[in-house]
Amino acid sequence: MNIGIIGSGHIGGTLARLFSARGHAVLLANSRGPESLREMVAELGPGVRAVTPQEAAREAEVVVEAIPFGRLTELPREDLSGKILVTAANYYPERDGEIDLGGLSEAEYTARLLPGVRVVKAFNTIWFRHLAEQGDPGKPQSERRAIFVEADDPGAKAVVSHLIDELGFAPVDGGDLPGSTRFQPGSPLYNRDLTGREAREALATS
Ligand SMILES: NC(=O)c1ccc[n+]([C@@H]2O[C@H](COP(=O)([O-])OP(=O)(O)OC[C@H]3O[C@@H](n4cnc5c(N)ncnc54)[C@H](OP(=O)(O)O)[C@@H]3O)[C@@H](O)[C@H]2O)c1
């Protein structure tokens, strides 16, 4: 699959490596342009290409955004139309500035910024080092590290859950975008190192 990744830092760079290792074609973008990614894509190997955010959005079937929440308005809205967009971003006011979410969850707010985009929230509650190291396709789902997935579009959620499974994690259905406040910074489930089984138990009682 062609997977676009907008944001080439801790999370975006880690996902580029993992998806490429699974045989996906990765289109990697940042804010400074493809030239600034030359060394990084050379190190990541032939499955990864440096592009602009617009190209990543246009050419990929699934796009991950891993950029600071305060910069989400810079995403290429028109090029993302109709695409599945995985949002890994978390809102930290001290980093991102004061943003009025209007009472919405962070993922709902993101979806409102991007009408016509199939927004899925995932990868936001796992530290990038754990993301790099903890995937293990050899383990049963119940024993793997959990990654929560929320979306309003069941088809998009299924596609992203399959990708998470391929990386050796347990995709755990966290419900819809309005309910995804349960997985935001400060919530009890945020950044918890849980297995698939533990995550489902925690969800049932949260
Ligand atoms: N670090 C973690 O373990 C972790 C875990 C889960 C979720 N998150 C969330 O994921 C997001 C990214 O975190 P990170 O730690 O990966 O950040 P990071 O290492 O600082 O990387 C941010 C990346 O976003 C790019 N970027 C910024 N604005 C952009 C724009 N308008 N268009 C394209 N690219 C843009 C930057 O490119 P330039 O360098 O060219 O500006 C950089 O490659 C944050 O919202 C964070 O809260 C982080």
pLDDT tens across 14-57, in order? 999 999 999 999 999 999 999 999 999 999 989 999 999 999 99
- Residue indicated by tokens 């760079």: 13
Q: For the segment 56-74, what is each residue's pLDDT rounded down to a tens digit?
A: 999 999 999 999 999 999 9
> Where are the domains positioned within the chain?
2-205
Tell me, using a 6 A CB cutoff, whether residue 90 lines ligand 1. yes
Running DSSP on this structure, what letter comes out for residue 142? G
Assign domain 2-205 one CATH number from 3.40.50.720, 2.30.130.30, 3.40.190.10, 3.90.950.10: 3.40.50.720
Kindly give the number of the ligand 1 atom that is closest to the alpha carbon of 128: 3
The answer to whether 145 and 198 are in contact (CB under 8 A) is no
Confidence class for position 178, pLDDT limits 50, 70, 90: very high
170-175 and 146-151 strand pairing: parallel
Mean pLDDT of 77-101: 98
Q: For the segment 96-134, what is each residue's pLDDT rounded down to a tens digit?
A: 999 999 999 999 999 999 999 999 999 999 999 999 999
- The pLDDT assigned to 206 comes to 80
For ligand 1, mutation pick of 67, 86, 123 (most atoms within 8 Å of CB): 67
DSSP H helical ranges for 37-186: 38-44, 53-59, 77-80, 93-96, 106-113, 128-133, 154-166
Q: 133: closest CA among 17, 6, 1, 5? A: 17
Tell me the Ramachandran region of residue 45: left when phi exceeds 0, alpha when psi lies from -120 to 50, beta otherwise. left
Q: Is the dihedral of CA 90, 91, 94, 96 positive or negative?
A: positive
The answer to whether 123 and 15 are in contact (CB under 8 A) is yes
CA 33–ligand 1 middle distance (angstroms) = 14
Q: What is the mean pLDDT of the chain?
A: 97
CA 26–ligand 1 middle distance (angstroms) = 17
Tell me, using a 6 A CB cutoff, whether residue 11 lines ligand 1. yes
Tell me, using a 6 A CB cutoff, whether residue 31 lines ligand 1. yes
CA 88–ligand 1 middle distance (angstroms) = 9
Whole-angstrom CA distances from 96 to 5, 34, 69, 71, 87 are: 20, 24, 6, 8, 16
CA 8–ligand 1 middle distance (angstroms) = 7
- The pLDDT assigned to 88 comes to 98
